[in-house]
Chains A and B, each alone.
Chain A
Amino acid sequence: MEPKVLTGKHFINGDVACAEGAIAAGCTFFGGYPITPATEVAERMAERLPDVGGTFIQMEDEIAAITSILGAAWTGAKVMTATSGPGFSLMMESVGLAVVTETPCVVVNVQRAGPSTGLPTMGAQADMMQARWGSHGDYEIIAMAPASPQEMFDLTIEAFNLSEKYRVPVFIMSDEVVGHMSEKVVIPEASKIHTVSRVRPVGRKDRFKPYQPLKNGVSPMPAIGDGFNIHVTGLTHDEQGYPVMSVDTQKDMISRLLAKIRNNIEDIIRTEGYLLKDAEMIVVSYGVSARTSYTAVDEARRMGIKAGLLRLITVWPFPDHIIRELARRVKGFVTVEINMGQISREVERCAGANASCCLVGHAGGTIITPDEVINRIKEAV
Chain B
Amino acid sequence: MAKAKQRVHPLEDLIRTERIPHIWCPGCGVGTVFSACLSAIKQTGIEYRKFTMVSGIGCSGRGAGYARLDSFHTTHGRAIPFATGIKMANPELNVIVFSGDGDLFAIGGNHFIHAARRNMDLTVICINNFIYGMTGGQVAATTPHNAQSATTPYGNPESPFNLPLLAIASGATYVARWTMIHTRDLTDTFAEAMAHRGFSFIEVLSPCPINYVRRNKVKLMDLVKKFQTHTIIRNDADPRDLDLDFEKGVVLGKFVDIDRPTADMLYEEIRRRRAG
Listed in ascending order, the chain A residues whose CB lies under 8 Å from chain B are 1, 28-29, 31, 50-51, 53, 55, 57, 59-61, 63-65, 67-77, 79, 93-94, 96-97, 222, 224-235, 242-243
> In B257-274, which residues have CB < 8 Å from any A CB?
263, 267, 270-271, 274
Listed in ascending order, the chain B residues whose CB lies under 8 Å from chain A are 16, 19, 49-50, 52, 54, 64-65, 68-75, 77-78, 81-86, 88-90, 92-93, 110-111, 114, 263, 267, 270-271, 274-276
Task: Give the docked Cα–Cα distance between A74 and B75 (Å).
Answer: 15
Q: Chain A at the B interface: mostly helix, strand, loop or mixed?
A: mixed
11 more A-B contacts (CB under 8 A) besides A29-B89, A59-B114, A243-B73?
A57-B263, A64-B114, A68-B88, A70-B74, A71-B54, A72-B85, A75-B86, A228-B70, A229-B70, A230-B71, A233-B73
Cβ-closest chain A residue relative to B114: A60
Task: State whether B65 touches A231 (Cβ < 8 A).
Answer: yes
Task: List residues of chain B with CB within 8 A of the CB of A70.
Answer: 74, 82, 85
Name the distance in Å between A53's Cβ and chain B's nearest Cβ: 7
Task: List residues of chain A with CB within 8 A of the CB of B72.
Answer: 71, 74, 231-233
| Number of interchain pairs (Cβ within 8 Å) | 138
Task: State whether B73 touches A72 (Cβ < 8 A).
Answer: no
Task: List residues of chain B with CB within 8 A of the CB of A61.
Answer: 110
Task: Give the docked Cα–Cα distance between A74 and B110 (Å).
Answer: 23
Task: State whether B88 touches A72 (Cβ < 8 A).
Answer: yes
Task: State whether A93 touches B75 (Cβ < 8 A).
Answer: yes
Task: List residues of chain A with CB within 8 A of the CB of B114.
Answer: 59-60, 64
Task: Give the docked Cα–Cα distance between A231 and B66 (Å).
Answer: 9
Task: Give the docked Cα–Cα distance between A1 and B111 (Å).
Answer: 33
Task: List residues of chain A with CB within 8 A of the CB of B111.
Answer: 60, 64
Cβ-closest chain B residue relative to A31: B85
Name the distance in Å between B122's Cβ and chain A's nearest Cβ: 11
Task: State whether A72 touches B89 (Cβ < 8 A).
Answer: yes
Task: State whether A77 touches B89 (Cβ < 8 A).
Answer: yes
16 contacts between A and B (CB under 8 A): A29-B85, A50-B271, A60-B111, A64-B114, A67-B78, A67-B82, A67-B85, A72-B88, A79-B89, A222-B70, A225-B52, A225-B93, A231-B16, A232-B73, A242-B19, A242-B65
Task: List residues of chain B with CB within 8 A of the CB of A96.
Answer: 75
Task: List residues of chain A with CB within 8 A of the CB of B49.
Answer: 225-227, 229
Decide yes or no: A232 and B89 within 8 Å by CB, A50-B267, A55-B267, A64-B111 being known contacts. Answer: no
Task: Give the docked Cα–Cα distance between A69 and B74 (Å).
Answer: 13
